Structure 1
Amino acid sequence: MRILKGADASAAIKIQVAEGLERLKGKVPKLGIIRVGERADDKSYERGAVKRMESFGLRVQSYVYPEKISHEDFEKEFRTINEDPDVAGILLLRPLPGQISEKQIENMIDPAKDLDGISPANIAKVFAGDSTGFAPCTAEAVVEMLKAAGISISGKRITIVGRSMVVGRPLSMLLLQENATVTICHTRTRELAGACRSAEILVAAAGKAGMIDQSFVGKDAVVIDVGINVDEKGRLCGDVDFDSITEIASMATPVPGGVGAVTTAVLAKHLVRAAGLAQKV
């Protein structure tokens, strides 16, 4: 089995980012990462994003708030960042604590700074096939990884396990635009393993550590593991039981070092694009 690491896709995106920076003529855009609380997976993603932005020559600032911050106080802080002309793009780490209305914040974010595609305007564009918006970074990263690996998408049977608005649903739209035949499965799908085995490309985005084992994977399938979980030992792991599929799958992505690495590269690409649109270059 070939291990599909994110390095190739990330390297290709880095070239695109460099070209975008040249068009900005010396103005380096800044990403604002907003985190509430101390969730381990949020902090891990934040560290990766900061490292990626800096390695791509971009600016980044983290805005961290206590888990018990009130909705009113958080909304005030968010509005300040949202309206700051020095912040070219925003990444809001979710889910937010229960006392904060996530929907209200999603409606507040400036679509032009919404790099992870959470605003209603950007979501609508993804589902309408309008490429002028920003798609969720993780969903776009899956497509970037497949293309970088030379895997044809057109006409392929692709099954996605997970129906969230973060990955499953927007990814299905991006894949349909590439002329794939897409099936979305979830926890209530009957005979889930069988539905997955029929896929030529299987995308695991269920958010459950080790859920996808050899019984879900068809012979020579390509397996893309989107899951980012923390196991009982505090280590990052995916939704796929990686060791169990090595004799069945033709290719698979590891965790860490797979889709997550490309997700932050896509975030950097979106940041430069947002800055370019703001400057009309």
Structure 2
Amino acid sequence: MLLHPLHHQPFEPELRYWISCFTNYNMPPALDAELSRFNPNAPADREQLIRRYCLPHFNSRENFRHRQRLVEVLQAALDKPDFDFEEVWEPLEDDYDDQQWPSGWPASIDNSRDFFQRLLLAARELWHADLTRAQLPSLAECRAIPARERGSHDWLFSIDNSDTWRALFDMTATPYDMTTPGPQFQGEQLSLHLSGELQRLSVPATWPVTQAPSHCSFTLNVRGISELAVSGSRFDGRMRTQLTRLNPGYHLRLEIGFDCVIECVALSVSIADLKGIRDEKQL
């Protein structure tokens, strides 16, 4: 069940939730003056109100699943040809406080359907990554993928920026015996520093044989995690990787050290800070 971001209750937003930044009971005078500079009935001003005030109003509260639900509510209303969008701006019948909106605005909003249609288009554009992430399969669904359809040991050639590896090494296989000091979690992101020996790989075409690297190091970045499972007690040591490319996104399973397992579904998996070196001590 999706809970409200501020209250431990089910998140069931009404359509007026979208315009709550324009209709409140204690609007600061500075905000009133700022919003009053716009005419909500002018197309250009509508775009400004939507993109500068309405959508940013949600940034610090709702996560990607809340945004998906908000878009679903808005889309459902727009799918009804006879939906009364003018009523959305009106105060609730059982609300005995005076609902305030910008003092410089007209008494009514013309063609409210157009306002909410523009709102949907802007939300789908600006929240594209979040809405895509909300559509990723669950971990349970990914675990049910047949083994023959999962990734191979050459996982580096299935990531978002595999050209980074080819540009430096010009090699055709992934080093599979990598080690890590442990993961770093930051919000909905995961990073690991990896290093290891370049086993069973050809010499890079751009490197003289005498200078061919014997080891590599890089950072594995996982972004836009939609679901995560972590178990174990030792998060450092040798890492074994299984990466399955979804459409879009990835299912990533990392087995680290003696008993650690990190498994997630994410929008992006990439590498950065790639280095090839001769001396393992430089890692």
For normalisation by structure 2, the TM-score amounts to: 0.23
Indicate the structure with greater helix content. Answer: 1
Larger Rg, first or second structure (1 or 2): 2
For normalisation by structure 1, the TM-score amounts to: 0.23
Indicate the structure with greater strand content. Answer: 2
